[in-house]
Homo-oligomer: A and B are copies of this chain.
Amino acid sequence: MLHATLIKGSFQDSVTLMVLSRDLSQAPHVNRVSVMMGTPANKDVFRETGLWHPALEAATPNDLCVVVDCDDPDPAVAEQVAAELKERLARMARDRRASGYAVARSWRRARQLLPDANIALVSVAGHYAAEPTRQALEDGCHVMMFSDNVSYEQELELKSIARDKGLIVMGPDCGTAIVNKAPLAFANRVPAGPIAIVGASGTGIQELGSQIARLGGGITHAIGLGGRDLSERIGGISALTALDMVARDPDSRVVAFVSKPPAPTVRTRIFERMRALGKPVVALFLGERPSRRVFGNVHLAGTLDEAAALAVELAAADAQAARLPNVCGRGVCGLYTGGTLAAEAALLLAETLDLAPDASHDEGYMLRAGGHRIIDLGDDAYTRGRPHPMIDPTLRSDMIRGLADDPAYGVLLLDIVLGFGGHRDPAGEAAAAVAAMRAARCDSAPIVVIATVTGTAADPQDRGSQIAKLEEAGIFVADSVRAAVLLAVRAITPTAPSSSEPPDLLRAEPAVVNIGLRGFADDLSANGVRVVHQQWEPVAGGNPRLQRLVALMQ
Protein backbone atom coordinates (compact mmCIF):
# COMPACT_ATOMS: atom_id res chain seq x y z
CA MET A 1 0.00 0.00 0.00
CA LEU A 2 1.59 3.30 -1.13
CA HIS A 3 1.15 6.68 0.47
CA ALA A 4 2.68 9.86 -1.02
CA THR A 5 3.37 13.30 0.42
CA LEU A 6 4.83 16.33 -1.38
CA ILE A 7 6.81 18.97 0.53
CA LYS A 8 6.87 21.96 -1.82
CA GLY A 9 9.97 24.07 -2.35
CA SER A 10 12.31 22.14 -0.07
CA PHE A 11 15.40 21.26 -2.07
CA GLN A 12 17.77 18.73 -0.51
CA ASP A 13 20.85 17.17 -2.01
CA SER A 14 20.79 13.61 -3.22
CA VAL A 15 23.03 12.13 -0.54
CA THR A 16 20.96 13.72 2.22
CA LEU A 17 17.86 12.26 0.63
CA MET A 18 19.32 8.81 0.36
CA VAL A 19 20.38 8.81 3.98
CA LEU A 20 16.89 9.99 4.93
CA SER A 21 15.29 7.25 2.81
CA ARG A 22 17.47 4.61 4.39
CA ASP A 23 16.84 5.81 7.97
CA LEU A 24 13.07 6.30 7.57
CA SER A 25 12.74 2.81 6.09
CA GLN A 26 13.65 1.50 9.55
CA ALA A 27 10.40 2.98 10.99
CA PRO A 28 7.88 0.49 12.48
CA HIS A 29 5.19 -1.03 10.19
CA VAL A 30 6.95 0.32 7.13
CA ASN A 31 8.27 -1.77 4.24
CA ARG A 32 10.17 0.97 2.53
CA VAL A 33 10.39 4.77 2.33
CA SER A 34 11.75 6.68 -0.65
CA VAL A 35 12.44 10.40 -0.47
CA MET A 36 13.53 12.14 -3.68
CA MET A 37 13.27 15.48 -5.46
CA GLY A 38 10.54 15.50 -8.08
CA THR A 39 12.76 15.55 -11.16
CA PRO A 40 11.60 13.73 -14.30
CA ALA A 41 14.39 11.15 -13.84
CA ASN A 42 13.42 10.51 -10.22
CA LYS A 43 9.80 10.11 -11.26
CA ASP A 44 10.98 7.39 -13.62
CA VAL A 45 12.78 5.72 -10.73
CA PHE A 46 9.57 5.78 -8.66
CA ARG A 47 7.78 4.12 -11.59
CA GLU A 48 10.47 1.51 -12.22
CA THR A 49 10.79 0.56 -8.57
CA GLY A 50 7.06 0.06 -8.10
CA LEU A 51 6.68 3.17 -5.93
CA TRP A 52 4.67 5.35 -8.31
CA HIS A 53 1.75 7.25 -6.80
CA PRO A 54 -0.54 9.60 -8.79
CA ALA A 55 0.15 12.41 -6.31
CA LEU A 56 3.71 12.61 -7.64
CA GLU A 57 2.42 13.83 -11.02
CA ALA A 58 2.27 17.38 -9.71
CA ALA A 59 5.77 17.40 -8.20
CA THR A 60 8.42 19.78 -9.58
CA PRO A 61 12.20 19.32 -9.24
CA ASN A 62 12.05 21.66 -6.23
CA ASP A 63 9.51 19.52 -4.39
CA LEU A 64 10.38 16.77 -1.96
CA CYS A 65 8.47 13.57 -2.84
CA VAL A 66 7.93 11.12 0.02
CA VAL A 67 6.56 7.67 -0.83
CA VAL A 68 5.81 5.25 1.99
CA ASP A 69 5.23 1.58 1.24
CA CYS A 70 3.49 -0.21 4.11
CA ASP A 71 0.98 -3.02 4.56
CA ASP A 72 -1.21 -0.96 6.89
CA PRO A 73 -3.97 0.93 5.00
CA ASP A 74 -4.21 3.37 7.93
CA PRO A 75 -2.79 6.73 6.73
CA ALA A 76 -1.43 7.29 10.26
CA VAL A 77 1.65 5.21 9.45
CA ALA A 78 2.53 7.42 6.50
CA GLU A 79 1.72 10.55 8.45
CA GLN A 80 4.06 9.41 11.19
CA VAL A 81 6.86 9.03 8.62
CA ALA A 82 6.15 12.46 7.13
CA ALA A 83 6.20 14.02 10.59
CA GLU A 84 9.54 12.35 11.38
CA LEU A 85 10.92 13.59 8.07
CA LYS A 86 9.86 17.17 8.74
CA GLU A 87 11.47 17.06 12.14
CA ARG A 88 14.73 15.74 10.63
CA LEU A 89 14.66 18.53 8.04
CA ALA A 90 14.11 21.15 10.72
CA ARG A 91 16.96 19.74 12.83
CA MET A 92 19.28 19.78 9.82
CA ALA A 93 18.37 23.40 9.15
CA ARG A 94 19.22 24.31 12.77
CA ASP A 95 22.56 22.42 12.58
CA ARG A 96 23.41 24.21 9.38
CA ARG A 97 22.80 27.59 10.88
CA ALA A 98 25.15 26.63 13.69
CA SER A 99 27.90 25.47 11.33
CA GLY A 100 31.05 27.49 10.91
CA TYR A 101 30.51 28.65 7.35
CA ALA A 102 28.09 30.81 5.49
CA VAL A 103 25.35 29.58 3.21
CA ALA A 104 24.32 31.54 0.13
CA ARG A 105 21.35 31.15 -2.14
CA SER A 106 23.15 32.33 -5.28
CA TRP A 107 26.58 32.41 -6.87
CA ARG A 108 26.61 36.21 -6.65
CA ARG A 109 25.91 36.10 -2.93
CA ALA A 110 28.48 33.36 -2.38
CA ARG A 111 31.10 35.50 -4.11
CA GLN A 112 30.18 38.48 -1.96
CA LEU A 113 30.69 36.33 1.13
CA LEU A 114 34.00 34.89 -0.16
CA PRO A 115 35.41 37.51 -2.54
CA ASP A 116 38.71 35.65 -3.03
CA ALA A 117 37.06 32.32 -3.82
CA ASN A 118 39.26 30.52 -6.33
CA ILE A 119 37.60 27.11 -6.56
CA ALA A 120 34.01 26.03 -7.13
CA LEU A 121 33.15 22.47 -6.09
CA VAL A 122 30.12 21.43 -8.14
CA SER A 123 28.17 18.33 -7.13
CA VAL A 124 24.65 19.05 -8.38
CA ALA A 125 22.99 16.44 -10.60
CA GLY A 126 24.86 16.13 -13.89
CA HIS A 127 21.95 17.46 -15.88
CA TYR A 128 22.32 20.80 -14.10
CA ALA A 129 26.10 20.87 -13.50
CA ALA A 130 27.15 22.80 -16.60
CA GLU A 131 25.46 26.05 -15.64
CA PRO A 132 27.06 26.67 -12.21
CA THR A 133 30.37 25.48 -13.68
CA ARG A 134 30.20 27.99 -16.52
CA GLN A 135 29.29 30.75 -14.10
CA ALA A 136 32.25 29.94 -11.85
CA LEU A 137 34.68 29.79 -14.78
CA GLU A 138 33.48 33.10 -16.16
CA ASP A 139 34.04 34.54 -12.75
CA GLY A 140 37.67 33.34 -12.75
CA CYS A 141 37.32 30.30 -10.53
CA HIS A 142 38.75 26.86 -11.13
CA VAL A 143 36.09 24.17 -10.95
CA MET A 144 36.03 20.67 -9.50
CA MET A 145 33.03 18.91 -11.10
CA PHE A 146 32.09 16.01 -8.87
CA SER A 147 28.90 15.58 -10.89
CA ASP A 148 28.60 12.78 -13.37
CA ASN A 149 26.34 12.43 -16.40
CA VAL A 150 27.65 15.62 -17.95
CA SER A 151 27.54 15.36 -21.75
CA TYR A 152 30.69 15.24 -23.89
CA GLU A 153 29.62 18.47 -25.57
CA GLN A 154 29.28 20.29 -22.28
CA GLU A 155 32.55 18.88 -20.96
CA LEU A 156 34.39 20.02 -24.09
CA GLU A 157 32.80 23.45 -24.00
CA LEU A 158 33.51 24.01 -20.30
CA LYS A 159 37.10 22.76 -20.54
CA SER A 160 37.70 24.98 -23.58
CA ILE A 161 36.43 27.99 -21.65
CA ALA A 162 38.71 27.06 -18.76
CA ARG A 163 41.74 26.65 -21.00
CA ASP A 164 41.17 30.03 -22.64
CA LYS A 165 41.02 31.68 -19.25
CA GLY A 166 44.02 29.89 -17.73
CA LEU A 167 41.76 27.83 -15.47
CA ILE A 168 41.18 24.12 -15.00
CA VAL A 169 38.05 21.99 -14.85
CA MET A 170 38.73 18.96 -12.66
CA GLY A 171 36.21 16.30 -13.59
CA PRO A 172 33.39 15.82 -14.45
CA ASP A 173 32.84 12.41 -12.90
CA CYS A 174 35.95 12.71 -10.81
CA GLY A 175 35.49 11.91 -7.17
CA THR A 176 38.72 13.25 -5.81
CA ALA A 177 41.01 16.24 -5.70
CA ILE A 178 43.26 17.69 -3.02
CA VAL A 179 44.49 21.24 -3.64
CA ASN A 180 46.73 22.76 -1.01
CA LYS A 181 45.38 20.27 1.54
CA ALA A 182 41.77 21.18 0.75
CA PRO A 183 39.83 17.91 0.31
CA LEU A 184 37.56 18.41 -2.68
CA ALA A 185 34.84 15.71 -2.45
CA PHE A 186 36.12 12.16 -1.70
CA ALA A 187 39.63 12.68 -0.42
CA ASN A 188 42.17 11.22 1.93
CA ARG A 189 44.39 13.04 4.38
CA VAL A 190 47.72 12.24 2.75
CA PRO A 191 50.91 13.49 4.43
CA ALA A 192 52.62 16.48 2.82
CA GLY A 193 55.49 15.67 0.53
CA PRO A 194 57.02 16.36 -2.87
CA ILE A 195 54.80 14.20 -5.10
CA ALA A 196 52.02 15.72 -7.22
CA ILE A 197 49.29 13.30 -8.26
CA VAL A 198 47.39 13.86 -11.51
CA GLY A 199 44.69 11.34 -12.27
CA ALA A 200 41.65 10.67 -14.39
CA SER A 201 39.82 8.62 -11.79
CA GLY A 202 38.93 9.21 -8.18
CA THR A 203 39.87 5.88 -6.67
CA GLY A 204 43.03 5.75 -8.76
CA ILE A 205 44.09 9.01 -7.13
CA GLN A 206 42.97 7.84 -3.70
CA GLU A 207 44.86 4.57 -3.93
CA LEU A 208 48.01 6.27 -5.23
CA GLY A 209 47.87 8.72 -2.32
CA SER A 210 47.26 5.93 0.19
CA GLN A 211 50.10 3.81 -1.15
CA ILE A 212 52.42 6.83 -1.13
CA ALA A 213 51.47 7.44 2.52
CA ARG A 214 51.93 3.75 3.35
CA LEU A 215 55.45 3.91 1.94
CA GLY A 216 56.33 6.97 3.98
CA GLY A 217 55.95 9.49 1.16
CA GLY A 218 53.72 12.50 0.78
CA ILE A 219 52.01 14.72 -1.77
CA THR A 220 51.69 18.37 -2.71
CA HIS A 221 48.37 18.18 -4.54
CA ALA A 222 46.11 15.68 -6.28
CA ILE A 223 44.44 16.95 -9.41
CA GLY A 224 41.49 15.02 -10.83
CA LEU A 225 40.77 15.13 -14.54
CA GLY A 226 37.61 13.11 -15.07
CA GLY A 227 37.34 9.72 -16.71
CA ARG A 228 36.83 11.06 -20.23
CA ASP A 229 39.44 13.79 -20.26
CA LEU A 230 41.92 11.61 -22.17
CA SER A 231 39.38 10.58 -24.81
CA GLU A 232 39.73 11.65 -28.42
CA ARG A 233 36.83 14.10 -28.10
CA ILE A 234 38.07 15.95 -25.00
CA GLY A 235 41.70 15.67 -26.05
CA GLY A 236 43.23 15.72 -22.57
CA ILE A 237 42.58 19.44 -22.06
CA SER A 238 42.61 19.20 -18.26
CA ALA A 239 45.50 16.72 -18.24
CA LEU A 240 47.69 19.13 -20.18
CA THR A 241 46.68 22.03 -17.92
CA ALA A 242 47.36 19.94 -14.82
CA LEU A 243 50.79 18.87 -16.11
CA ASP A 244 51.62 22.51 -16.82
CA MET A 245 50.56 23.48 -13.32
CA VAL A 246 52.62 20.82 -11.55
CA ALA A 247 55.56 21.61 -13.83
CA ARG A 248 55.44 25.22 -12.64
CA ASP A 249 54.92 24.30 -8.99
CA PRO A 250 58.30 24.37 -7.25
CA ASP A 251 57.13 22.13 -4.39
CA SER A 252 56.04 19.34 -6.73
CA ARG A 253 59.33 17.53 -7.42
CA VAL A 254 57.89 14.30 -8.83
CA VAL A 255 54.63 13.72 -10.72
CA ALA A 256 52.54 10.54 -10.48
CA PHE A 257 49.95 10.20 -13.23
CA VAL A 258 47.18 7.59 -13.43
CA SER A 259 44.52 6.97 -16.08
CA LYS A 260 43.11 4.31 -18.34
CA PRO A 261 45.07 4.06 -21.62
CA PRO A 262 44.37 7.40 -23.36
CA ALA A 263 43.21 7.67 -26.97
CA PRO A 264 46.33 7.22 -29.14
CA THR A 265 46.64 10.83 -30.32
CA VAL A 266 46.02 12.08 -26.80
CA ARG A 267 48.57 9.67 -25.40
CA THR A 268 51.18 11.04 -27.76
CA ARG A 269 50.47 14.61 -26.69
CA ILE A 270 50.40 13.77 -22.97
CA PHE A 271 53.55 11.71 -23.22
CA GLU A 272 55.41 14.50 -25.03
CA ARG A 273 54.36 16.95 -22.36
CA MET A 274 55.57 14.54 -19.67
CA ARG A 275 58.92 14.08 -21.41
CA ALA A 276 59.40 17.86 -21.49
CA LEU A 277 58.27 18.40 -17.90
CA GLY A 278 61.75 18.79 -16.43
CA LYS A 279 60.79 16.59 -13.48
CA PRO A 280 60.58 12.85 -12.93
CA VAL A 281 57.17 11.50 -13.92
CA VAL A 282 55.63 8.11 -13.12
CA ALA A 283 52.86 7.29 -15.58
CA LEU A 284 50.39 4.47 -15.04
CA PHE A 285 48.15 3.93 -18.05
CA LEU A 286 46.25 1.11 -16.36
CA GLY A 287 45.72 -1.69 -18.88
CA GLU A 288 48.65 -0.83 -21.12
CA ARG A 289 51.48 -3.36 -21.14
CA PRO A 290 54.62 -1.33 -21.54
CA SER A 291 57.63 -3.41 -22.52
CA ARG A 292 60.00 -0.50 -22.06
CA ARG A 293 59.73 0.92 -18.59
CA VAL A 294 61.63 4.17 -18.66
CA PHE A 295 62.03 6.94 -21.19
CA GLY A 296 64.35 9.57 -19.72
CA ASN A 297 62.38 11.26 -16.95
CA VAL A 298 59.20 9.25 -17.60
CA HIS A 299 58.79 5.90 -15.85
CA LEU A 300 55.93 3.64 -16.91
CA ALA A 301 54.36 1.64 -14.11
CA GLY A 302 52.12 -1.41 -14.45
CA THR A 303 50.09 -1.26 -11.23
CA LEU A 304 48.99 1.31 -8.68
CA ASP A 305 51.33 0.07 -5.96
CA GLU A 306 54.26 0.00 -8.36
CA ALA A 307 53.49 3.56 -9.47
CA ALA A 308 53.41 4.75 -5.86
CA ALA A 309 56.63 2.92 -4.97
CA LEU A 310 58.40 4.42 -7.98
CA ALA A 311 57.19 7.91 -7.14
CA VAL A 312 58.39 7.59 -3.54
CA GLU A 313 61.73 6.26 -4.74
CA LEU A 314 62.14 9.08 -7.27
CA ALA A 315 61.26 11.63 -4.61
CA ALA A 316 63.89 10.13 -2.31
CA ALA A 317 66.46 10.25 -5.12
CA ASP A 318 65.53 13.86 -5.78
CA ALA A 319 66.01 14.78 -2.13
CA GLN A 320 69.29 12.88 -2.07
CA ALA A 321 70.50 14.54 -5.28
CA ALA A 322 69.86 17.95 -3.75
CA ARG A 323 72.50 17.13 -1.11
CA LEU A 324 75.04 15.92 -3.68
CA PRO A 325 77.55 18.12 -5.48
CA ASN A 326 76.47 19.41 -8.85
CA VAL A 327 77.59 16.97 -11.54
CA CYS A 328 74.91 17.94 -13.97
CA GLY A 329 75.61 17.01 -17.59
CA ARG A 330 78.66 14.85 -16.87
CA GLY A 331 79.29 11.17 -17.48
CA VAL A 332 78.59 8.03 -15.46
CA CYS A 333 81.43 5.54 -14.97
CA GLY A 334 80.54 2.11 -13.58
CA LEU A 335 83.37 -0.13 -12.37
CA TYR A 336 81.79 -3.45 -11.43
CA THR A 337 83.32 -6.63 -10.08
CA GLY A 338 80.05 -8.55 -10.63
CA GLY A 339 79.14 -9.29 -14.23
CA THR A 340 75.39 -9.44 -13.73
CA LEU A 341 75.45 -6.24 -11.69
CA ALA A 342 77.39 -4.54 -14.49
CA ALA A 343 74.92 -5.87 -17.04
CA GLU A 344 71.93 -4.61 -15.07
CA ALA A 345 73.47 -1.17 -14.55
CA ALA A 346 74.28 -0.93 -18.27
CA LEU A 347 70.79 -2.03 -19.33
CA LEU A 348 69.04 0.40 -17.02
CA LEU A 349 71.31 3.33 -17.84
CA ALA A 350 70.98 2.65 -21.57
CA GLU A 351 67.20 2.36 -21.36
CA THR A 352 66.86 5.54 -19.33
CA LEU A 353 69.16 7.62 -21.51
CA ASP A 354 68.15 6.02 -24.81
CA LEU A 355 71.58 4.60 -25.51
CA ALA A 356 72.57 1.25 -27.00
CA PRO A 357 74.28 -1.15 -24.56
CA ASP A 358 77.59 -2.44 -25.83
CA ALA A 359 76.77 -5.67 -27.64
CA SER A 360 80.31 -6.96 -28.17
CA HIS A 361 81.36 -6.62 -24.50
CA ASP A 362 84.95 -6.03 -25.66
CA GLU A 363 87.24 -5.40 -22.71
CA GLY A 364 84.27 -6.00 -20.42
CA TYR A 365 82.48 -2.88 -21.63
CA MET A 366 78.77 -3.35 -21.01
CA LEU A 367 78.02 0.25 -22.04
CA ARG A 368 80.20 2.72 -23.86
CA ALA A 369 78.04 5.51 -25.27
CA GLY A 370 76.94 9.07 -24.67
CA GLY A 371 79.95 9.82 -22.51
CA HIS A 372 79.11 6.99 -20.13
CA ARG A 373 80.78 3.64 -19.53
CA ILE A 374 79.96 0.58 -17.48
CA ILE A 375 82.71 -2.05 -17.22
CA ASP A 376 82.62 -5.63 -15.95
CA LEU A 377 86.05 -6.07 -14.37
CA GLY A 378 85.41 -9.80 -14.03
CA ASP A 379 85.78 -10.04 -17.81
CA ASP A 380 88.64 -12.22 -19.10
CA ALA A 381 90.38 -9.06 -20.28
CA TYR A 382 90.97 -8.13 -16.64
CA THR A 383 91.38 -11.51 -14.95
CA ARG A 384 94.07 -13.09 -17.10
CA GLY A 385 96.96 -13.69 -14.73
CA ARG A 386 95.16 -11.85 -11.95
CA PRO A 387 92.65 -12.97 -9.36
CA HIS A 388 89.06 -11.97 -9.89
CA PRO A 389 88.44 -8.42 -8.65
CA MET A 390 86.10 -9.81 -6.00
CA ILE A 391 89.15 -11.53 -4.51
CA ASP A 392 91.71 -8.84 -5.20
CA PRO A 393 90.28 -5.38 -5.90
CA THR A 394 93.70 -3.86 -6.68
CA LEU A 395 92.93 -3.35 -10.36
CA ARG A 396 89.65 -1.61 -9.65
CA SER A 397 91.28 0.54 -7.01
CA ASP A 398 93.87 1.61 -9.58
CA MET A 399 91.10 2.46 -12.05
CA ILE A 400 89.24 4.46 -9.39
CA ARG A 401 92.40 6.44 -8.65
CA GLY A 402 92.79 6.96 -12.39
CA LEU A 403 89.53 8.89 -12.48
CA ALA A 404 91.39 11.73 -10.77
CA ASP A 405 92.55 12.73 -14.23
CA ASP A 406 89.19 12.28 -15.92
CA PRO A 407 86.86 15.13 -14.94
CA ALA A 408 84.40 14.13 -17.67
CA TYR A 409 82.89 11.65 -15.24
CA GLY A 410 80.62 13.08 -12.58
CA VAL A 411 79.27 9.83 -11.17
CA LEU A 412 81.09 6.64 -10.22
CA LEU A 413 79.05 3.46 -9.73
CA LEU A 414 80.59 0.63 -7.73
CA ASP A 415 79.56 -2.77 -6.41
CA ILE A 416 80.79 -4.20 -3.14
CA VAL A 417 80.34 -7.98 -3.17
CA LEU A 418 80.56 -9.72 0.18
CA GLY A 419 80.49 -13.39 1.05
CA PHE A 420 82.74 -16.41 1.31
CA GLY A 421 85.50 -16.54 -1.26
CA GLY A 422 85.64 -12.77 -1.66
CA HIS A 423 88.02 -10.13 -0.36
CA ARG A 424 87.87 -9.56 3.38
CA ASP A 425 87.31 -5.79 3.17
CA PRO A 426 86.10 -4.68 -0.24
CA ALA A 427 84.44 -1.54 1.17
CA GLY A 428 87.66 -0.47 2.88
CA GLU A 429 89.60 -0.92 -0.37
CA ALA A 430 87.05 1.03 -2.39
CA ALA A 431 86.81 3.78 0.23
CA ALA A 432 90.60 4.24 0.28
CA ALA A 433 90.75 4.41 -3.51
CA VAL A 434 87.88 6.92 -3.65
CA ALA A 435 89.53 9.08 -1.01
CA ALA A 436 92.82 9.08 -2.94
CA MET A 437 91.03 9.86 -6.21
CA ARG A 438 89.07 12.72 -4.67
CA ALA A 439 92.19 14.18 -3.08
CA ALA A 440 93.92 14.20 -6.46
CA ARG A 441 90.94 15.52 -8.40
CA CYS A 442 90.62 19.22 -8.98
CA ASP A 443 87.99 20.93 -6.84
CA SER A 444 86.00 22.09 -9.82
CA ALA A 445 85.22 18.51 -10.80
CA PRO A 446 83.37 16.85 -7.93
CA ILE A 447 82.37 13.23 -8.30
CA VAL A 448 79.35 11.49 -6.83
CA VAL A 449 80.14 7.90 -5.82
CA ILE A 450 77.25 5.46 -5.49
CA ALA A 451 77.77 1.88 -4.33
CA THR A 452 75.55 -1.14 -3.93
CA VAL A 453 76.42 -3.81 -1.39
CA THR A 454 75.69 -7.44 -2.30
CA GLY A 455 75.71 -9.48 0.86
CA THR A 456 73.93 -10.15 4.12
CA ALA A 457 74.33 -9.25 7.77
CA ALA A 458 75.62 -12.78 8.42
CA ASP A 459 78.38 -12.63 5.82
CA PRO A 460 81.95 -12.76 7.15
CA GLN A 461 82.60 -9.12 6.13
CA ASP A 462 79.39 -7.90 7.87
CA ARG A 463 77.16 -5.85 5.62
CA GLY A 464 76.45 -3.20 8.25
CA SER A 465 80.08 -2.31 8.94
CA GLN A 466 80.91 -2.40 5.21
CA ILE A 467 78.13 0.09 4.55
CA ALA A 468 79.34 2.28 7.43
CA LYS A 469 82.84 2.36 5.90
CA LEU A 470 81.46 3.47 2.55
CA GLU A 471 79.26 6.15 4.06
CA GLU A 472 82.13 7.49 6.17
CA ALA A 473 84.07 7.88 2.93
CA GLY A 474 81.27 9.98 1.43
CA ILE A 475 80.02 7.15 -0.76
CA PHE A 476 76.27 6.92 -1.14
CA VAL A 477 74.93 3.38 -0.64
CA ALA A 478 71.90 2.49 -2.78
CA ASP A 479 69.58 -0.42 -1.99
CA SER A 480 69.81 -1.93 -5.47
CA VAL A 481 71.48 -1.44 -8.82
CA ARG A 482 68.20 0.00 -10.05
CA ALA A 483 68.16 2.54 -7.23
CA ALA A 484 71.82 3.37 -7.90
CA VAL A 485 71.16 4.07 -11.58
CA LEU A 486 68.07 6.09 -10.69
CA LEU A 487 70.15 8.33 -8.42
CA ALA A 488 72.98 8.54 -10.95
CA VAL A 489 70.58 9.71 -13.64
CA ARG A 490 68.98 12.19 -11.25
CA ALA A 491 72.43 13.57 -10.41
CA ILE A 492 73.52 14.18 -14.00
CA THR A 493 70.15 15.41 -15.29
CA PRO A 494 69.53 19.16 -15.38
CA THR A 495 66.76 20.07 -12.95
CA ALA A 496 64.00 22.36 -14.12
CA PRO A 497 64.68 25.96 -13.20
CA SER A 498 62.52 27.31 -10.40
CA SER A 499 59.39 28.69 -11.93
CA SER A 500 59.06 32.44 -11.91
CA GLU A 501 55.31 32.08 -12.07
CA PRO A 502 53.91 29.22 -10.03
CA PRO A 503 50.28 28.50 -10.89
CA ASP A 504 47.86 30.42 -8.71
CA LEU A 505 45.58 27.42 -8.07
CA LEU A 506 48.43 25.57 -6.34
CA ARG A 507 49.95 28.61 -4.66
CA ALA A 508 46.95 30.50 -3.28
CA GLU A 509 45.23 29.56 -0.07
CA PRO A 510 42.16 27.69 -1.26
CA ALA A 511 38.77 29.39 -0.85
CA VAL A 512 35.88 27.27 -2.06
CA VAL A 513 32.30 27.83 -3.09
CA ASN A 514 30.58 24.47 -2.58
CA ILE A 515 27.59 23.96 -4.86
CA GLY A 516 25.57 20.80 -4.30
CA LEU A 517 26.27 18.17 -1.66
CA ARG A 518 26.35 19.84 1.71
CA GLY A 519 28.64 17.27 3.28
CA PHE A 520 31.56 18.45 1.14
CA ALA A 521 31.31 21.91 2.72
CA ASP A 522 31.32 20.31 6.16
CA ASP A 523 34.51 18.41 5.33
CA LEU A 524 36.21 21.50 3.90
CA SER A 525 35.27 23.54 6.94
CA ALA A 526 36.44 20.78 9.28
CA ASN A 527 39.78 20.88 7.49
CA GLY A 528 40.15 24.60 8.05
CA VAL A 529 39.44 25.56 4.45
CA ARG A 530 37.43 28.74 3.93
CA VAL A 531 34.18 27.72 2.28
CA VAL A 532 30.77 29.14 1.45
CA HIS A 533 28.02 26.67 0.69
CA GLN A 534 25.78 27.70 -2.15
CA GLN A 535 22.44 26.06 -1.51
CA TRP A 536 21.73 25.25 -5.07
CA GLU A 537 18.32 24.80 -6.60
CA PRO A 538 17.60 24.37 -10.29
CA VAL A 539 16.82 27.66 -12.02
CA ALA A 540 13.14 28.13 -12.79
CA GLY A 541 12.25 25.10 -10.70
CA GLY A 542 14.13 22.84 -13.07
CA ASN A 543 11.77 23.49 -16.00
CA PRO A 544 14.00 23.37 -19.10
CA ARG A 545 11.90 25.81 -21.16
CA LEU A 546 11.77 28.37 -18.40
CA GLN A 547 15.53 27.90 -17.85
CA ARG A 548 16.24 28.79 -21.46
CA LEU A 549 14.05 31.88 -21.14
CA VAL A 550 15.84 32.94 -17.96
CA ALA A 551 19.20 32.44 -19.66
CA LEU A 552 18.16 34.63 -22.57
CA MET A 553 17.00 37.41 -20.26
CA GLN A 554 20.27 37.49 -18.22
* Partner-B contacts on A (CB < 8 A): 14-15, 18-19, 22, 36, 42, 45, 49, 148-149, 175-176, 183, 185-191, 201-204, 206-207, 209-211, 213-214, 227, 258, 260, 286-287, 289-293, 302-306, 337-341, 343-344, 347-348, 378, 380, 384-388, 390-392, 394, 415, 417-422, 453-460, 479-483, 519-520, 523, 527
Whether the pair A293, B302 counts as a contact (CB closer than 8 A) is yes
| Separation of A519 and B176 alpha carbons in the complex (Å) | 62
Which B residues are CB-close (under 8 A) to A303? 344, 348, 480-482
List of 3 A-B pairs having minimum Cβ-Cβ separation, nearest first: A203-B338, A305-B480, A204-B340
Whether the pair B455, A188 counts as a contact (CB closer than 8 A) is yes
When the two chains form the complex, which single residue of B207, B292, B387, B388 contacts A338, counting CB atoms closer than 8 Å?
B207
- Nearest CB on B from A219, distance (A): 10
When the two chains form the complex, which single residue of B190, B209, B290, B387 contacts A291, counting CB atoms closer than 8 Å?
B290
Whether the pair B186, A422 counts as a contact (CB closer than 8 A) is yes
| Separation of A453 and B203 alpha carbons in the complex (Å) | 11
| Separation of A49 and B387 alpha carbons in the complex (Å) | 16
- Nearest CB on B from A143, distance (A): 17
| Separation of A515 and B344 alpha carbons in the complex (Å) | 32
- Nearest CB on B from A231, distance (A): 15
| Separation of A2 and B124 alpha carbons in the complex (Å) | 95
Which B residues are CB-close (under 8 A) to A18? 386-387, 391-392
| Separation of A149 and B302 alpha carbons in the complex (Å) | 41
Whether the pair A418, B305 counts as a contact (CB closer than 8 A) is no
Which B residues are CB-close (under 8 A) to A482? 303-306
Which B residues are CB-close (under 8 A) to A417? 186, 203, 206
16 of the cross-chain contacts (CB-CB < 8 Å) are: A18-B391, A49-B385, A186-B421, A187-B420, A188-B420, A188-B456, A189-B459, A201-B340, A203-B454, A207-B338, A207-B340, A210-B453, A210-B456, A303-B480, A304-B340, A304-B341
